[in-house]
Chains A and B, each alone.
Chain A
Amino acid sequence: MRLTCPNCGERDRREFYYYGDAIALRRPAPDAVPEAWDDYLHNRKNPAGDTTDLWFHEAGCGAWLVVDRNTVTHAVHGATLAEKAKR
Chain B
Amino acid sequence: MITKESSIVTEAFLLTQRRAKELLREPQWIFSGMATPILYLVLFAPLLTNIPSALFGGLSVVQMFVPGMLVLFAFGSGQGIGWTVIHELDTGVIERFRVTPVRRVSLLLGSVIRDGLFFIVCALIVCLIAIPFGFVIHPSGLALTLLLLAVLTGTVSATSAAIGLALKNIGALAASIMSMQLPLTLLAGALLPISMGPTWLRVLAHFNPFYYAVEAARDLASGHILTVNVGLGFLVVFAVFALALTWASRVFQKAVA
Is B one of A's binding partners? Answer: no
Residues of B within 8 A of A (CB): none
